[in-house]
Chains A and B, each alone.
Chain A
Amino acid sequence: MDRRRFLTQASLWSLAGILPAGCTTPRLGAEADQSNILVLVELNGGNDGLNTVVPFADPTYAKLRPRIGINPDQVVRLDDRLGLHPGLAPLKTAWDAGEMAIILGVGYPDPNLSHFRSIEIWDTGSDSSEFLAAGWTARAVTGRGGRRTADGIVLGRPYVGPLAGSGTRTIVMESAGEFANAARRVTLPASAPANPLLAHVVATQTEIRKAGDDIYFKLQRPMPGLRAEFPRTGIGWQLSNAALLIASDVDVPAIKVSLGGFDTHTNERNTHDRLMRELGDALAAFRAAMIERLMWHRVTVVTYSEFGRRVAENSGQGTDHGTAAPHFVLGKAIKGGFYGQQPRLDDLAGGNLRFAVDFRSVYATLVRRWWNGDAVGVFGRRYPEVGFFG
């Protein structure tokens, strides 16, 4: 679980001085390129999709989840059959503004139900039985975009996942300000040794100093205080740092944050209800902050998780590992609405949902439409795009 950082929002933003609002010149995001920022939100542990986007009108849902199902009266209804977990109510604003896509039934063929193998499949964009070394984001962004601060920044759980790759410059930090200050005290190593593991240490130390200097100077820029308030949770802290970095014009195409605890084998509702609230509150705050900073048009947010969960609840009022699940894509550039197809609850494969949209279709859409990248090159074949960029 993430350590809570109970710093006030005011003190975080005051790192960057005070000037009137609107002095940051937004880059007009008409052309898709790698100055567009993708915020990857990992829901670690396997998020229960059926209790996230709830098929409240389906009688099979209530039948298979007599104790952990969400009461139809509490669902935030989006149409006459699907609605959000009540904890995600703060996202209704984005939905109503047409800035939130919900992609239903995201998964892949021959699903693997291991946390570790399945997240590897998602992170590398591989087939179920294929092993790839580098993350899909790393393949899409490494070596592109010229001299930027870094290829990716990882906040929260220190797992670089989609940003793993040799030569990929990925910065892991807990706090932008602390990192920048500490990094400036690190010396640049003298030589690059042949020993590959030592070379990794040396390359990391070099990266600390180079990216650290850049972030440090950008954080010195005067910045007005922020009206949007982030929740005092782990994910709230991470997204507030992401917002600070983006608003400070730190040049990075991808920022990964994470929310853990989704492996709800027992007593699911307690944990999952809290996680949904944390997610909804933090994403809504992030959107508000980006709008306030005139940066929302440059940001796309996407959620992902290693798998969804079993349809029927178990003896411990929880759910075991499953397969397909819905995911969210948010942004000013997004054409809101439902995409894909809600999996049938009465036509299961071994108790699990059948997927409708390959997750690589979602990612390929982001690579091509958001970064103007070569999605076929990144994924090795053409995946049909999902229409969320309109």
Chain B
Amino acid sequence: MIGRLLVGSILAATLLGAVSAQAIDEPDARHLLLRTGFGASPEAVAALRPLDRRAAVARILDGVRVEAATPPPVFVRGLRPDWQTHWKEPDETIKQTFNRARDAEIVELKAWWYAEMITTPSPLTERMTLFWHNHFTSSMDKVRAPDLLHTQNALLRRHATGSFRDILHAVAKDPAMVKYLDNTQNKKGAAVENFARELLELFTLGEGHYGETDIREAARAFSGWQVDERTGVFRFNAREHDDGAKTVLGVKGPLKGEDVLDIILKQPRTAEFIAGKLVREFLSETPDAGLVTRVATRFRDTNYSIRAALQTIFDSDAFWAAETRGILIKSPVDLVVGTIRTLDLPIADLRSLIEPGRRMRQDIFNPPNVRGWPGGTNWISTFTLIERRSALAKILNNDMGPLQNSMTMMMASDATTGPAWSARGRGLDAWLSNHPNIAAAAGPMEMALLSVQAVNGTDADVDSRAMIERLVLDPAYQMK
């Protein structure tokens, strides 16, 4: 394994630019798949092999979708629940029934997203949707309305590799976001600052690149940005909007919310901030500053084309370098979805993935706070590593059971209207017999599953099924 990587790095160093015209080798293809999607199945690896690096990147970028392939959960198409009556309802039992129905819907929504991630022909689409979910965060715990979180999820996917300008403007008026950051109660006179602060700190400029006055003034510009609770649609309430003069980042005028967004987008820092986050997501936690600058410049020059930024990352020499392989820690979603996709595993009821995901500390649609999941080494604690190993062993052995946790089961018990999402993989034994060249020896199995050498070695005298389990439970499997 080490030898192979060394040879690759010497080749890369010798040939440099010319390398991109070559057909990619198997580790290259696996690397690109692991970093742009979830896992790397032998079929997906084989499909990229005839291409050179640039063409392989282009194929993945060209495959990006703007809509999910999985039909949305049934509740999304129904009438909006009557929240206004619910809030006035004095009877606790009736209120609880209403809340239980919402809980069941969010369980369904999570299972639906797992289904899409497991089956999508464009894993990068879902990786980017998840990236934006972790950037423009909103949580079910706060928002309470599953239909609005579905709307937001669709918005993030629609713009996943489009224009950052468009996604920023759209998210600022997204009903789930407006509710999540308390803008519904931001009124002229005594502005609520939550959205304005996180907009500057987490969504665009980053901490240290604005002042407290900018936050207070920007908050006034977003006063009156609300949600019509009856329809669940954004509305501008002119009566509660503060139309006085404001100064944000040195620009003065009777600024509206849209003006503030455009002022922020004029700041070079915005492109640098987003570019840095993309590079850390896809390439390295400790990226070269020159590369981030290059991605940021391209991002600005293309009027915030997310696709252009990604292409700059994936086409960089650093992305393909030997020292870039296997240095990122898989997120829990990556770990679970990637394993299912790589080994073509069945999951009878995808709702059963929710509780293990939560215990591994990535409960989709419920990020821990507005900064999202911090990722990197934060994924791995003494608690989550036990949970990761336990989830992997269960998934591998088709032992997830119908539902893992009584809480999830209770929540899901009312969800009789929706389909039970499942993964229809053929399982590990079928995978082994379908890939005799891989199953033949430990070496090919290690190469198919790990991006760095196994920590515990592969010299055990066990059958191929046990070897797969050994490799999946090796610490190296946590890496990509």
Contact = CB atoms under 8 A, between A and B. Distances in A.
Given A172-B381, A204-B382, A190 B455 contact: yes
A195 B197 contact: no
10 contacts: A3-B407, A114-B201, A172-B384, A173-B383, A186-B386, A198-B479, A201-B479, A314-B190, A315-B186, A320-B194
A193 B452 contact: yes
Nearest to B240: A315
A89 to B, nearest CB: 25
Interface in B363-407: 368-371, 376-377, 380-386, 389-390, 407
B30 to A, nearest CB: 17
- Give the residue among A116, A201, A316 with the most B Cβ atoms within 10 A: A201
B339 interface: no
Interface in A147-198: 154, 157-158, 160, 170-174, 179, 182-183, 186-187, 189-191, 193, 195-198
B361 interface: yes
Nearest to B325: A195
A265 B190 contact: no
Given A314-B191, A350-B212, A201 B457 contact: no
B386 A208 contact: yes
Given A266-B192, A314-B190, A198 B386 contact: no
A317 B476 CA distance: 50
Contact of A208 (B141, B212, B285, B385): B385
Task: Tell me the dominant secondary structure on chain A's binding face.
Answer: loop
B182 A158 contact: no
B456 interface: yes
Contacts of B381: 154, 158, 160, 170, 172, 204
Interface stretch (B154-162, B292-300, B326-334): B326-334
B252 to A, nearest CB: 19
B189 interface: yes
Contacts of B427: none
B150 to A, nearest CB: 22
Contacts of B457: 190
Nearest to A201: B475
Given A190-B456, A316-B185, A201 B190 contact: no
Given A158-B384, A198-B476, A315 B326 contact: no
A117 B208 CA distance: 9
B371 A314 contact: no
B478 interface: yes
A88 B476 CA distance: 48
Contacts of B326: 195, 198
Given A115-B371, A211-B382, 14 more contacts: A113-B197, A116-B207, A158-B381, A190-B455, A197-B329, A198-B475, A200-B380, A201-B475, A207-B382, A265-B192, A265-B194, A266-B192, A316-B184, A318-B182
A201 B327 contact: no
A160 B212 CA distance: 28
9 A-B pairs with least C-beta separation:
A316-B185, A172-B381, A315-B187, A172-B383, A315-B190, A265-B182, A201-B475, A320-B193, A265-B194
A388 to B, nearest CB: 31
Given A158-B361, A189-B455, A195-B479, A205 B185 contact: no
Interface of B: 141, 181-182, 184-194, 197, 201, 207-208, 212, 215, 285, 326-329, 358, 361, 368-371, 376-377, 380-386, 389-390, 407, 452-453, 455-457, 475-476, 478-479
A123 interface: no
Contacts of B455: 189-191, 193, 198, 202
B192 A183 contact: no
A53 B389 CA distance: 45
Contacts of A198: 326-327, 452, 455, 475-476, 478-479
Contact of A201 (B208, B380, B456): B380
Interface in A92-121: 112-117
A167 to B, nearest CB: 14
A195 B390 contact: no
Contacts of B194: 263, 265, 320
A321 interface: yes
A80 B379 CA distance: 49
Contacts of B456: 187, 189-191
A205 B475 contact: yes
A208 B382 contact: yes
A173 B193 contact: no
Nearest to B473: A187
A1 interface: yes
B185 A115 contact: no
A160 B376 CA distance: 14
A312 interface: yes
Nearest to A207: B382
Contact of B285 (A172, A197, A201): A197
Nearest to A196: B327
A20 to B, nearest CB: 34
A313 interface: yes
Contacts of A173: 382-383
B75 to A, nearest CB: 23
A193 B390 CA distance: 23
B386 A314 contact: no
Interface string A293-321: 00000000000000000001111111011
A45 B142 CA distance: 14
A266 B190 CA distance: 12
Contacts of A265: 181-182, 185, 192-194
A98 B340 CA distance: 58
Given A173-B382, A197-B327, A198-B326, A1 B141 contact: yes
